[in-house]
Amino acid sequence: MALSLHLPHSAHSVPLALHVKPSYTRHLINKMADDWQDTALNSKHIPHGRGKKSSRGKGKSKGEDDFNPNSALGSYELSGSALERLGGKLILEIHELTDTPGGIFGSMVLPDRFRAAVLLAGSRKQLSNVMDDVEAAGEEPDSSEDDPEDAPEDTGDEDDEDADSELELEKQDRLHNERVEAFQKNSFRNPKFFLAWQGEVTLAPGQVKVEKNRGYVVFSGNDCRSFEGTLSCSSIGWKDVAIKGRKTTSKARAPPFSWLDFLEDGQDGSEEDEGASPS
């Protein structure tokens, strides 16, 4: 590229050609383009704090909202207008998960008035399966009464015993995980459970009836601090009476009796009430 310059001190202007390298020309052109872009960008208002926010709020790790049935363990003090006529506080205690996945075992006690074993599950079908399994287990012969001669001979091999112990621990862990996972489908909303109970109802001194009946509970949240529900007992005229439960302790105790303890005495012949459905 050639530029012509005119020298003012000369009488006759003599064109002087200056040769500029093409690379320098490109540098000037690029700089002009950069200056134009900088000016345009600096003059344009860019709003702050308008980034898209997630409608989900703070994210939670997977599994954080899953219901852990161990949260339900503990004691609950029951209240309700119908329960007040019993003259005391009826206590529902949830002790442990059942061997059958999806079930929980508990008890309801009011000294000298009410004593019952309780089973809970997330659906009527599941509750029926849990009840069947618990009652079927009671019909099996006690393995502890087997003839000692039938017991396996002790070989004295400690390695085999250690391997068997590890396999048994793995089996117990697997069964526990299956029982816990069976409840996670039940945490779509507030955890709710159908309830079956059977036990002794004392109507008067010396007048005790054995009954089996139903109810349900809906916990206020996955922390299981309280619940609402219904309870039926035909012996004292309850049919789906409203109840509320408030947790008083989170410590799980060993069950004072089993579901099978009340089967041996026979039922009172009354038809079991299916109870209302939780909303």
Give the model confidence (pLDDT) of 48-58 as tens digits: 444 444 444 45
Residue-wise pLDDT for 99-134, tens only, equals 998 999 999 999 999 999 999 999 999 999 999 999
User: Which is more confidently placed, 87 or 256?
Assistant: 256
Strands 74-79 and 16-19: unpaired
Token look-up 């004691």 returns 75
Tokens of 132: 């069947």
Q: Given a cut of 80, is residue 243 above it in pLDDT?
A: yes
Q: How far apart are CA 117 and CA 211, in angstroms?
A: 11
Beta bridge pairs of residue 94: 74, 106
> How many other CB atoms are found less than 10 A from the CB of residue 90?
21
pLDDT band at 167 (very low <50, low <70, confident <90, very high): confident
Proportion of the chain in helix, strand, coil states, percent, rounded to 5: 30, 30, 40
Report the predicted TM-score, pTM, of the whole model to 2 decimal places: 0.64
H or E stretch at 53: none
Name the least confident of 32-46, 148-162, 206-220: 32-46
pLDDT band at 166 (very low <50, low <70, confident <90, very high): confident
Q: How far apart are CA 184 and CA 67, in angstroms?
A: 5
> How many other CB atoms are found less than 10 A from the CB of residue 134?
20
| Structure letter (DSSP) for residue 109 | E
The mean of the pLDDT values for the chain is 76
Tokens of 1: 């590229």
Token look-up 């529902």 returns 92
pLDDT band at 208 (very low <50, low <70, confident <90, very high): very high
Q: Please give the share of the chain, as a percent, with pLDDT higher than 70.
A: 54
Residue-wise pLDDT for 37-89, tens only, equals 455 444 444 444 444 444 444 544 445 567 889 999 999 999 999 999 888 99
User: Which is more confidently placed, 157 or 231?
Assistant: 231
pLDDT band at 268 (very low <50, low <70, confident <90, very high): very low
Tokens of 242: 């409203």
What average pLDDT does range 138-161 have in this prediction? 57
Q: Which of 229, 237, 226 is nearest to 195 (CA)?
A: 229
Q: What is the reported pLDDT for 190?
A: 85
DSSP output for 137-189: HHHSPPGGGS-GGGSPP----HHHHHHHHHHHHHHHHHHHHHHHHTTGGGGSS
